[in-house]
Amino acid sequence: MTSRTAIVLFSGGQDSTTCLAWALDRYERVETIGFDYGQKHKVELECRRTVRERILNDFPQWAPRLGEDHVLNIDVLGKISETALTGDAEIALQADGMPNTFVPGRNLLFLTLAAAVAYRRGCTVLVGGMCETDYSGYPDCRDNTMKAMQVALSLGMATTLVIETPLMWIDKAETWRFAARLGGEKLVKVIQEDTHTCYRGDRQHFHEWGSGCGTCPACELRAAGYRNWQKGM
C-alpha cells in the first residue's frame, strides 16, 4: 500500500475495470477519469457508472478508497478523426494494416488530459489498461509510447508522474485470471455483467463472457480470452 493517489483511465470496459481493481488494491486513494468523444459504444459511459456503484456497494475493502469520478467531453476528437468507432463506417482493416477503429492520438490525448487533472488534484500516478500482447495493433498502446508519454508529461508539467500499465504484457485470458485474483468471483461477475467492450455498443446479446455482438474484434478478443481462461490456458 502506498499513500500516493492514482487516477485510473476508466472506460467501463473489462481492461480498465481490472486496472481499477488493481489500483484500489494498491493505492490509498483512487479517482477515475472517462471521456465522451462521440464513440458509438457510448453505452460504456453508463457501464462505468454501474461498475463504480457496484464497487462502492459490494467491495467494502475498496469502497473507502474510491474517490471522485471525472468525465470529460472531448467531442473534438470525433470531429477530427473519421473512424469506425466514431463515424458510420463498418469495422475493417485499412490499407496500411491498421484497423479503422484506430482513433489517431486518442490515448495520447487521454493521457495528457488525465495528467492535467492529476496535476490539479495532486495525483502522481496514472493507470491505464494499454496492452501490447493481444491488442489491435494500436501504436498508442505500446509500452514505449507510454514511457515516452510519462517522460513528456513529467517534463512538461514539471512534476513526477508515473504511468502504470498493469496489463501491458498479459493476454486477455490472463486479464480474466488477474481479475479473479484481485477481486474473486464477485469481481468476475461485475466484469461479466456490467463492463462493456463491444465496439458496436451491443448490450442486447448476453454471453458467458459478457454482453456484445460477438463478432466485432473487441468481442472476439474478449470471448476468446474468456474461453482460454476457462480452459486453464
> What is the side-by-side order of every strand in the sheet holding 162-164?
66-73, 27-36, 2-9, 125-127, 162-164
Q: 170 or 216: whose CB is closer to Zn ion?
A: 216
Q: Whole-angstrom Cα distance, residue 123 to residue 89?
A: 38
Between residues 40 and 48, which has the closer beta carbon with respect to Zn ion? 40
The distance of closest approach from Cβ of residue 24 to Zn ion in the complex, given in angstroms and rounded to an integer, is 28
**Residue of 140, 144, 161, 141 whose CA lies nearest to 6:** 161
Give the N- to C-terminal CA distance of the chain in Å, as an integer.
30
CA distances from 183 to 23, 173, 179, 190 (A): 12, 16, 6, 10
Is 15 within 8 Å of 51 (Cβ atoms)? Answer: no
The rounded Cα 230 to chain-centroid distance in angstroms is 22
Residues that bind Zn ion (CB under 5 A): 198, 200, 212-213, 216, 219
In the bound state with Zn ion, the residue whose beta carbon lies nearer, of 41 and 142, is 41
Grid cell listed for 228 = 482460454
Q: How many CB atoms lie within 10 A of CB 221?
A: 18
Please identify, using beta-carbon distances, which residue of 168 and 213 lies nearer to Zn ion. 213
Closer residue to Zn ion, CB minimum distance, 43 or 213: 213
How far is residue 61's CA from residue 225's CA, in Å, rounded to a whole number? 28
What is the smallest separation between the CB atom of 17 and Zn ion, expressed in angstroms? 17
Q: Which is nearer to Zn ion, 46 or 68 (CB)?
A: 46
What is the distance between the alpha carbons of residues 3 and 32, in angstroms, rounded to a whole number?
A: 17
